[in-house]
Amino acid sequence: MYATNENMDDDPIGKSIIKNLVYIKQNITSYDTILDILVSKEIIGLHERSDFSSHGISHNDKIQEVINVVLKKGASDEFITALLDSGNEHVAEQILTLDEKDFTTFTQGTRVTGNSIRPKDRLLQAYRDIATLQREKNDISNEIKSLQTHHEDQVAGLHEQITKLKEQMREKDNTIKTQNEHLRKLKEMQEKKSTIHEEQMDDIKQTLAKVVNLCETTQEKVIETQKKVTLLEDQMKKPRVRGNITSTMREERNKANKH
């Protein structure tokens, strides 16, 4: 049992699908491709696809289930374009073989023109145009998605580079902190050495001052000693002169006495 819209008079393509149901079941090919197209058009849910491709269902029953969904959702146009895109143009052409009344009903308010062309051919061309436009739309949509993905990849790549640069900056900061700490310790050591050196220099200066003072004191003592020595020498020289004079006088006296 197939599902239909409440008022099939408003859907002459749907009526034609029902009318040509036997032909459709006998001649349709690329069933899985049709399923994929209807899934992409959101006529069949992705989670429902496996229900339509179950191995326990006959080929005719599978097609019947698909047609039930198409008619229930009023998706006759999408079904025709799916037939055209899946290599089932012969099936689409059979469905579009409408009588003049149905064709007039279907084309009211549309841009399907060309009265010199048979209704079926005009409809078929219109659906071909729709299918072509749909493919172009899908191509554009895929290109947009590709560009978005590429852009997202670029953004992700930039984020990754930024993350790496931030990590490198953190490593540099840590290295700088370590170097600064090392430098601080070196400065402390240098300051300590400088302080010790200054203290040692002060000690040396004090010792040197003591040595200089001692030398000066010693020099004074030496000078004083030299003065004393000189004085003693002078004192020692004076008695000798007196002794010499006395001896000379004695000799002269002795000479005088002899005379």
Alpha-carbon distance 225 to 204, whole Å? 30
Closest CA to 79 of 117, 119, 130: 130
Alpha-carbon distance 52 to 63, whole Å? 8
Alpha-carbon distance 246 to 227, whole Å? 29
CB atoms inside a 10 Å sphere around CB 194: 10
Alpha-carbon distance 25 to 62, whole Å? 9
According to the model, what pLDDT value does residue 152 have? 79
Q: What are phi and psi of 58, to 5 degrees?
A: -70, 160
Average pLDDT per consecutive 10 residues, the chain (259 residues; last block may be shorter): 53 90 93 92 89 82 93 92 92 80 52 51 78 80 84 81 84 80 76 76 82 82 83 73 59 64
Who's near 97: CB < 8 A, 6+ residues apart? 16, 20, 120
How far, rounded to the nearest angstrom, does the alpha carbon of residue 119 sit from its chain's CA centroid? 60
CB atoms inside a 10 Å sphere around CB 241: 9
CB atoms inside a 10 Å sphere around CB 39: 16
According to the model, what pLDDT value does residue 64 have? 93
b vs e for 9-21, b when ≥16 Cβ sit within 10 Å of the residue's Cβ?
eebbbbbbbebbb
Give 33: exposed, middle or buried? Use CB within 10 Å, 0-12, 13-18, 19+: middle
According to the model, what pLDDT value does residue 253 have? 66
Alpha-carbon distance 112 to 50, whole Å? 37
Alpha-carbon distance 220 to 88, whole Å? 135
Q: Is this prediction's pTM over 0.75?
A: no
Look-up: residue for tokens 């931030």? 166
According to the model, what pLDDT value does residue 1 have? 46
Contacts for 105-111 with beta carbons within 8 Å, 24 or more apart? Answer: 105/9, 105/12, 106/12, 106/13
How far, rounded to the nearest angstrom, does the alpha carbon of residue 173 sit from its chain's CA centroid? 19
According to the model, what pLDDT value does residue 157 have? 82
Asked if 37 and 104 touch (Cβ cutoff 8 Å), the reply is no
